[in-house]
Structure 1
């Protein structure tokens, strides 16, 4: 595995006057009439923002409510990373048609951001191609380009010389050489984003035809050159944006806003840093316990761990070893025996309720070994994984006692717990408990209104980060 030292790579990048950059960006934002609509393929895309709405469906009512908000940005939670190809096409066609219709009715122009994983997994290019084709069929718009910007500082996802890196401690590892690139559904080989585009589009868009926004141009704050690059985009050309810090995103967004003001049309495929900058969302300190728990029940909290990536297992082990919480393993391999599985679900739920009622916090986690049925049985495994996910969620939806807080670890887990387990239709993003780890305040319609719900991505943080988040919530 080829690695680079973070400090050595960053030392070669020139510094910049961020205050001057932010002043220019503020001017562009204040004169922009565009509503920013973010389609989030799992609930972790709000990990950089606060004071914004996330809607857990894409009904006409939700989209219209988003357009009518004072905020310049809102999120629609699609959860499409857990969808089939057919489900992804259906959802994105519906969303594109409704967003275009409501934009026309309200007289408000918009920019669509398809928020994907900062480690490059997800339904790409399917999602943005579906959005492009649907909107172009329903309007007079023609998309000139697609911005690709997976930079996410809080998670250590940096793009340098067009290569996307994932940070592990002091090392930067090219994304194509990480465990994420070996994803069973969304795997890839390339780390150079031009090559990644070529790989993912099966050669339809070539590496040499991409437009590259370099760190040299960004650090020179050369907004005019970047704007001209954007103005030159045609026929859905791919625009690769390098970035290692928020200032790079701020320079880029300044040029981007100027280009759309001059009539260019773009779709964006990005991680969550771009959403914060283009949404005009200010920095905010990490949340404290008194901001998180506004109704102290005297009960224990609940932590749900479903993700199986290595980082999650390390974080789970550190939490269990801390003795902050009681630990319950959910033996999901019993899914192969319906009766035993039903008894296991009941055992886990009733044990959780007893402990929470007595004031003890609990982590329940799926058995760490993957269920492997053997060769050529992926479809069966997928069906069983859905059954397991439903069971993990049902434990929350069937709870008869309100936890003091809830943490869900993993994108799919946090999605199903939030939307199905807690029946959230709209939540306010309160901020972050740790860098890149967002907190929802659940709406009045939910199972536990006003509850602090921590959406903890599977691939964010260090080994101690889950334990540290629990310490904040426990007042330790």
Structure 2
């Protein structure tokens, strides 16, 4: 079904009426929820709404046990599965499920499992949640009644209205199936209606008519009995589509959801970044400033790594090139992937330029050629493998870096994940907060290549045209006087 774009003013038709009461009720409900919340993140951008939480970049029993023992009720595990093949993804999720079950038994602590996916609907769905369900039910005394689908993400302009998922472009809401994200060579789709999208991604196994729909009318009328009844009646791992255009909707839904959980109903969740923030009870934190992020002890320049090829990233890169003279730009030639040893020599060329410039105290942007890589194959896995080779080469630049930069910004999900885990060798990071809405900052752990270094994780599909440039400009300012202007 082709859906029409809408003017963003349509969101104003839905009125918030009882915000204080909803917040108070949610706080009481969360206090009743004595569970560890585990968020599996298919790239590092899922932390884009939270602060003061831990992110583990591997999923051994030891790491998961540490997460369970934290005082905080929620932690993230970075799977980076969007960069993996289907077989690799299934194996990773099988191992994670087995280890979570083991730790849950050891600690006697129940858990809630969230599969944090892309707010523009890309990723290994329904493979990931299907694998988690099968492994946990096989090894543990849990029976999952359904799967909750909630891709709403306000900070990125992703809204679900009348069961259709939209992406904000300026003043328009464009159906997700009509956007560039739906044309993804690995994770493409055509449906914008979330019921039809689930049916499409499951190759018809999940039927539109079998799904449960939590409407905005249900939520905004505070029709708690209706919502709870719908959730309690779900069986057979059917999908529950949750409409949302504001955090207010997520809060009302979560209030109802917790009642069902307390009655013994179990769900797995496939959501964007908004839901973990609400069910995790994460407090609001103001945007980070330069003073929060940059150490005065390091006079070297910063590094901005741009790997994402979505249109928004390219526009942000072009804006930065045209408007910020303080930054040096180095193009990484992706066409070298077709030459024997080409990528290796390109890494050495870029690294030499990068190190000398950063040592001079100047910030450098390394970006992949904007021309899309042409791979002569229709095999999705081979296309993905070529992209990963390029990403790995970009990451190797940071891995071989001998100069500590004052900060690193990585643009793009796969790029930022691999820089964090492979190049910076982070095993556990702390989420400091956000530098702009939807753009999180890690503080790297003691075990990493550059301990206690700020690492900005910038999703490819988030922000306005000027956002990357604004962040860079703020971070490269020097001196106390500049800090006072934040």
Asked if TM exceeds 0.5, the reply is: yes
Asked if 1 retains the 8 angstrom alpha-carbon contact of 2:83 and 2:388, the reply is no
C-alpha distance in structure 2 between counterparts of 1:164 and 1:211, whole Å: 16
What is the aligned-residue RMSD (CA, Å)? 1.4
Structure 2 equivalent of residue 429 of structure 1: 431
Structure 1 equivalent of residue 406 of structure 2: 404
SS of 1:327's partner is strand
- Once the two structures are TM-superposed, the CA of residue 382 in structure 1 deviates from its matched residue by 4.0
Structure 2 equivalent of residue 95 of structure 1: 96
Q: Measured at CA, do residues 295 and 175 of structure 1 come closer, stay the same or move farther in structure 2, by a change above 3 Å?
A: same
- Encode CA deviations 1:332-391: one digit per residue, 9 max, x unaligned: 212222344333211110111111001100000011112214355766554433322211
Task: State whether structure 2 residue 354 is matched by structure 1 residue 352.
Answer: yes
Asked if 2 retains the 8 angstrom alpha-carbon contact of 1:371 and 1:381, the reply is no
For residues 46-125 of structure 1, what are the structure 2 equivalents within 5 Å? 46-125=47-126
Q: Measured at CA, do residues 136 and 379 of structure 1 come closer, stay the same or move farther in structure 2, by a change above 3 Å?
A: closer
**Runs of 5+ in structure 2 lacking a partner?**
none
C-alpha distance in structure 1 between counterparts of 2:35 and 2:20, whole Å: 24
Q: Which moved more, 1:167-176 or 1:285-294?
A: 285-294
C-alpha distance in structure 1 between counterparts of 2:102 and 2:422, whole Å: 28
- Once the two structures are TM-superposed, the CA of residue 225 in structure 1 deviates from its matched residue by 2.3
- Once the two structures are TM-superposed, the CA of residue 100 in structure 1 deviates from its matched residue by 1.1
Structure 2 equivalent of residue 252 of structure 1: 253
Structure 1 equivalent of residue 184 of structure 2: 183
Asked if 1 retains the 8 angstrom alpha-carbon contact of 2:5 and 2:174, the reply is yes
Structure 2 equivalent of residue 450 of structure 1: 452
SS of 2:55's partner is strand
C-alpha distance in structure 2 between counterparts of 1:294 and 1:258, whole Å: 46
- Encode CA deviations 1:159-193: one digit per residue, 9 max, x unaligned: 01111000001000000111111111111111111
For residues 23-422 of structure 1, what are the structure 2 equivalents within 5 Å? 23-322=24-323, 323-376=325-378, 381-422=383-424
C-alpha distance in structure 2 between counterparts of 1:362 and 1:160, whole Å: 41
Q: Which moved more, 1:337-346 or 1:161-170?
A: 337-346
Asked if 2 retains the 8 angstrom alpha-carbon contact of 1:16 and 1:220, the reply is no
SS of 2:255's partner is helix
Asked if 2 retains the 8 angstrom alpha-carbon contact of 1:116 and 1:122, the reply is yes
C-alpha distance in structure 2 between counterparts of 1:207 and 1:397, whole Å: 46
Q: 2:463 is matched with which residue: 461, 464, 467?
A: 461
SS of 1:254's partner is helix
Q: 1:473 is matched with which residue: 465, 472, 475?
A: 475
C-alpha distance in structure 2 between counterparts of 1:66 and 1:154, whole Å: 27
Residue correspondences, number: 475
Asked if 1 retains the 8 angstrom alpha-carbon contact of 2:185 and 2:380, the reply is no
Q: Which moved more, 1:420-429 or 1:220-229?
A: 220-229
Asked if 2 retains the 8 angstrom alpha-carbon contact of 1:53 and 1:428, the reply is yes
C-alpha distance in structure 2 between counterparts of 1:432 and 1:84, whole Å: 30
SS of 1:329's partner is strand
SS of 1:119's partner is coil
C-alpha distance in structure 2 between counterparts of 1:142 and 1:332, whole Å: 47
- Once the two structures are TM-superposed, the CA of residue 472 in structure 1 deviates from its matched residue by 2.0
C-alpha distance in structure 2 between counterparts of 1:143 and 1:161, whole Å: 26
Q: Measured at CA, do residues 62 and 198 of structure 1 come closer, stay the same or move farther in structure 2, by a change above 3 Å?
A: same
SS of 2:429's partner is strand
- Once the two structures are TM-superposed, the CA of residue 205 in structure 1 deviates from its matched residue by 1.6
C-alpha distance in structure 2 between counterparts of 1:395 and 1:202, whole Å: 40
C-alpha distance in structure 1 between counterparts of 2:239 and 2:457, whole Å: 31
Q: Which moved more, 1:439-448 or 1:97-106?
A: 97-106
Q: Measured at CA, do residues 378 and 22 of structure 1 come closer, stay the same or move farther in structure 2, by a change above 3 Å?
A: closer
SS of 1:338's partner is coil
- Once the two structures are TM-superposed, the CA of residue 236 in structure 1 deviates from its matched residue by 0.6
**Runs of 5+ in structure 1 lacking a partner?**
none
- Once the two structures are TM-superposed, the CA of residue 229 in structure 1 deviates from its matched residue by 1.4
